[in-house]
Amino acid sequence: MILTVTLNPTVDKAYEVEKLVLGEVARVQEKRQTAAGKGIQVAKVVKLLGEDVSATGFIGGHNGEFVKEFLEKAGILTKFIQVEEETRTCVNVKDLSTGRITELLEQGGAVPNEKQEEFLDSYKKLLIDCEVVVISGSMPRGIEKEYYYELIQLAKDMGKVVLFDSSGELLAAGIKAKPHVIKPNRAELMELIGRKISTKEEVIAAASEIQANGIENVIVSLGGDGAIFVTAEGVFQGTTPNIPIVNTVGCGDSLVAGFAVGIRRGLPMIDKIKLAMAVSTANALHKETGFFLQEDLDRLLPMVGAIKL
């Protein structure tokens, strides 16, 4: 079982408009609505890969019920803590005339202390039946950044493998608990180490510094340039084929999901990397996020690379 933690889930609404001009009316050509948040995206992909997965976090109101029902229809086990405030909505608007995407991200309602304690009690019980834990994304208001440290440490104390994917001060606070895997992108890595990174060699050097401080695997996603994997077994570059991309939203979460499944299955490092890269690329072939077709994954697996540097 893989457990995903999404403290700040969202209902994602994606709109496509012919042209987006500030201050003017834009008529929607197409719209999509889905349950999201980084950990929920991971859960959806893990389930599509055929693994048992459970999703937890905080939900509230009609949006929270939508998230829960969406996941349960997908065959994902849910154990959310109910809060009074409505689960947030995030809006993604694509301007078809330019291809540019504008995102409006709500912060998330406040979670009182008693609900945070309730979540910790539930989380400890959920940890019993899982082998791998994925903790991802932002936090709603009212929760201190050290909360992620506590969640990571609790899982490690119970012998679970922990993958952690966040950013900014949340990432900086969480990695003090030394999760087994983190996945910053280039910008997040620069913020974490406090200096500019331009070349692949600089990416490797920065990731290696973090790994030397007790993070077993540091994965740095580089968009179209693939990803760098600094691991206990060496440094690898994950590469992807040059194919037309439809949507890059959710690709990082899909990469995390693929790597988590590789850990759950006990795959060799090369195969973990290939699965992660192939799933990430398969996600990019569709407008829907946290989604891929098995036929795409089967086609892409022989095309992705995992090169030891």
Adjacent-strand bridge partners of 182: 164, 218
Adjacent-strand bridge partners of 94: 16, 101
Which candidate, 125, 79, 134, 83, places its Cα nearest to that of 253?
134
Active site residue 253: yes
Tell me if residue 283 falls in helix, strand or coil.
helix
Residues in Cβ contact with 72 at an 8 Å cutoff, skipping those fewer than 6 apart: 78
Tell me if residue 135 falls in helix, strand or coil.
strand
Residues in Cβ contact with 164 at an 8 Å cutoff, skipping those fewer than 6 apart: 134, 135, 136, 148, 152, 171, 174, 175, 179, 181, 182
For residues 141 and 40, give the distance between their C-alpha atoms in angstroms, rounded to a whole number.
Answer: 19
For residues 159 and 60, give the distance between their C-alpha atoms in angstroms, rounded to a whole number.
Answer: 31
**Other CB atoms within 10 A of residue 112 CB:** 13
Sequence letter at residue 73: K
Using an 8 Å Cβ cutoff, are 60 and 85 in contact? yes
Using an 8 Å Cβ cutoff, are 217 and 180 in contact? yes
Residue with tokens 């590469």: 239
User: Looking at 121, 253, 271, 296, which residue is catalytic?
Assistant: 253
Adjacent-strand bridge partners of 16: 30, 94
Active site members: 253
